[in-house]
Amino acid sequence: VVLLTGMPGCRKKTLEIDTSPPYLRDLAEQLDFYIGTAVGYGSATFPNNSQYMKTLKREFNAVVAEYTMKWGTIRPDRETFNYGPGDELIKFAEDNKMMVRGHTLAWHQSVPAWVEDGDFTRDEAISLLEEHIDKVVKRWQGKIREWDVVNEVIRDGLTGQPGENPRRSNSVWERFIGEDWVEFAFRAAAEADPKALLFYNDYGIERKNRKQDAVFALVEDLLAKGVKINGIGFQGHFVSGNVPSEEELKANLDRFHDELGLKVQFTEVDIRIKKPVTAEKLAQQAEEYKRVIKVALEHPACDAVLLWGVDDGHSWINSSFPEHGAPLLLDSRFDRKPAYYAARDYLLAEIERRQGGEEGEEGGEKEE
Ligand code: XIL
């Protein structure tokens, strides 16, 4: 329990933070499930902010680097491989028995200037991409359970016009190599660590729409060519009030699992609220978090929900979507929000339900 007393401008008042058990990670473990989070890096977050660190250890059993495993950090110039921050996160995860997702080997963002502004032939760019993936995946082989090999290939705003190109044009890989760069990336990852689970990761595909159709077609085509892909990451950057219904979320996981045999996960969940944030909006957000976790937990091919941040104070939403806020389970004092309690109550009830084990009702068995 953290006590903040004598805050300037306040009457002397004790602001207590609820840190009482049970914790999300312990409940998730009882359900063979991962509740994870993206982890920042720097003076305000990992590994320097002690409150951030305590909360991270206490509440989560999976982590993903928010940016330190992207090209921008790992490969500031051609000769330098900066693995330090990634190594620190992996050591921390090992010490605290957390699963690690790797994010991400090829994306159109976080591309260092020497690549973005480089002058590469197709063959040179293929070699560069393959070499990067080979080195990074091997570096953490056996420690990273699953990689977002390729992130966000399909663009927004598809209209369905005949002949429309669904792929984003602002990607260096698309520009230097052409559409088959995705195939080279997955093949390189599979070769570097045959045991790692390989994911395609994207946003705005959590309900059926044109973008989801384009992702489906892309992955279906790769699988038909014999490319190893194990799963789809649905990022889950939601706006409160516009979170897909339980039926829509479930139908979307089913689509990729039943038709393509893929694992499914929610990999970057946050549910941002249009300001001003009110008690009613926080209550709605709580219901929405419960909905996402319920769909994930009940699905046989889904074993993880990762949030895109520990607390509202250190979320990318604050700078990227300044008209919105309060997207996570903990507020900027690391105190628990209604969404935290809703998630925890749901996990507790689910444990009880399974222990009660009504006859014939199994529930919760995850596929290998
Ligand atoms: C974001 C990070 O949160 C920011 O700190 C960084 O500046 C940019 O990237 N989809 C993704 C993530 O796959 O990597 C992005 O993370 C958020 C959107």
Determine the distance separating the centroid of ligand 1 and the alpha carbon of 207, expressed in angstroms.
21
Q: Is 73 in the pocket of ligand 1 (CB under 6 A)?
A: no
Say yes or no to pLDDT of 1 above 90: no
Under the banding of pLDDT at 50, 70 and 90, the label for residue 276 is very high
| Closest residue to atom 3 of ligand 1, CA basis | 316
Q: Is the CB of 171 under 6 A from ligand 1?
A: no
Q: Which of 59, 66, 146, 152 is catalytic?
A: 152
The model's pLDDT over 200-246, given as tens digits with 9 standing for 90+, comes to: 999 999 999 999 999 999 999 999 999 999 999 999 999 999 999 99
Picking from 305, 218, 289, the residue whose alpha carbon sits closest to that of residue 253 is: 305
Question: Does residue 339 contact residue 282 with C-beta atoms inside 8 Å?
Answer: yes
CA dihedral over 325, 330, 336, 341, signed as positive or negative: positive
- The residue whose CA has the least distance to atom 12 of ligand 1 is 66
Is a pLDDT exceeding 60 seen at residue 10?
no
Pairing verdict, β 146-151 and 197-202? parallel
R_g of the chain, CA atoms, integer Å: 21
Distance 317 CA to ligand 1 centre (A): 10
16-20: long-range contacts (C-beta < 8 A, 24 or more apart)?
17/333, 17/334, 17/335, 17/336, 18/335, 18/336, 19/58
In angstroms, what is the span from residue 67 Cα to ligand 1's centroid?
Answer: 7
Residue 248 falls in the annotated catalytic set: no
* Pocket of ligand 1 contains residue 316 by CB under 6 Å: yes
Residue 224 amino acid letter: A
pTM for the model: 0.95
Q: Which amino acid is at 266?
A: F
> How far out from the chain centre does Cα 291 lie?
17
| Closest listed residue to residue 149, CA positions, set 117, 191, 107, 93 | 107
151 Cβ closer than 6 Å to some ligand 1 atom: yes
- Give the pLDDT score at 358: 58
How far is the centre of ligand 1, averaged over its atoms, from the C-alpha of 270 (Å)? 12
Of the listed ranges 178-182, 194-198, 355-359, the least confidently predicted one is: 355-359
Task: Report CA torsion sign: 322, 326, 328, 332.
Answer: positive
- CB within 8 Å of 136: residues ≥ 6 apart: 69, 74, 102, 105
> Residue 64, by phi and psi: left (phi above 0), alpha (psi -120 to 50) or beta?
beta
pLDDT of residue 6: 45
How is residue 267 written in tokens?
């990999």
* Beta strand residue intervals within 154-299, DSSP E: 197-202, 231-234, 237-239, 263-274
Nearest Cα to Cα of residue 64 among 297, 267, 289, 332: 267
Contact predicate 103/151, CB 8 Å: yes
For all residues of the chain together, what is the average pLDDT? 95
29 is catalytic: no
Q: Are 146 and 229 within 8 A, CB to CB?
A: no
| 181 Cα to the center of ligand 1, angstroms | 21
Q: Which of 74, 152, 268 to mutate to test the pocket of ligand 1 (most atoms within 8 A of CB)?
A: 268
